[in-house]
């Protein structure tokens, strides 16, 4: 992850809410954000919260990046479900070859 910038607005996602926060301090190993009327400490290299409790808070550079990640997860889940229960007759060989090309899939021995 990149190093945050002092005063930068980030998007904090926890198990029960999503809020904007601000980077208030940057040290050598950690940076501090101000969110929910308190400071929280995160590792600069990983952007993981430095806490002894369960780490359920995740920082994103913007709300849009968070929304994009959520949409990506939904697509991956939909693809997994589609291919898990795929009938041999549902897709043609050409459709499967096109999908494989888009996804960068090659068969062994090719």
Q: Is residue 43 one of the residues assigned to a domain?
A: yes
3-state percent helix, strand, coil for the chain, nearest multiple of 5: 30, 30, 40
- Alpha carbon 9 to chain centroid distance? 17
Together in a domain, 73 and 85: yes
Secondary structure (3-state) at 29: coil
Q: Is residue 20 one of the residues assigned to a domain?
A: yes
Report the pLDDT value the prediction gives residue 110, as an integer from 0 to 100. Answer: 65
What does residue 100 show for φ and ψ, rounded to 5 degrees? -60, -40
Secondary structure (3-state) at 69: helix
- Computed over every residue of the chain, the mean pLDDT equals 90
Neighbours of 47 (CB within 10 A): 18
Token pair of 85 as six digits: 């229960």
pTM: 0.75
Together in a domain, 56 and 76: no
Point out the least confidently predicted range of 21-25, 55-59, 77-81: 55-59
Q: Per-residue pLDDT tens for 71-104?
A: 999 999 998 888 888 777 788 889 889 989 998 9
Based on the number of CB atoms within 10 Å of its own CB, is 49 exposed (0-12), middle (13-18) or buried (19 or more)? buried
Together in a domain, 37 and 76: no
């Amino acid at each position: 992850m990149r190093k945050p910038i002092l005063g930068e607005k980030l998007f904090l996602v926890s198990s029960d809410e999503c809020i904007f926060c601000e980077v208030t301090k940057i040290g050598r190993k950690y940076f501090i954000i101000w969110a929910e009327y308190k400071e929280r400490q995160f590792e600069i290299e990983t952007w993981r919260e430095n806490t002894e409790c369960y780490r359920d808070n995740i920082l994103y550079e913007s709300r849009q990046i968070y929304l994009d990640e959520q949409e990506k997860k939904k697509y991956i889940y939909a693809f997994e479900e589609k291919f898990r229960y795929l009938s041999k007759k549902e897709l043609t060989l050409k459709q499967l070859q096109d999908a494989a090309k888009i996804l960068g899939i090659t068969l062994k021995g090719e």
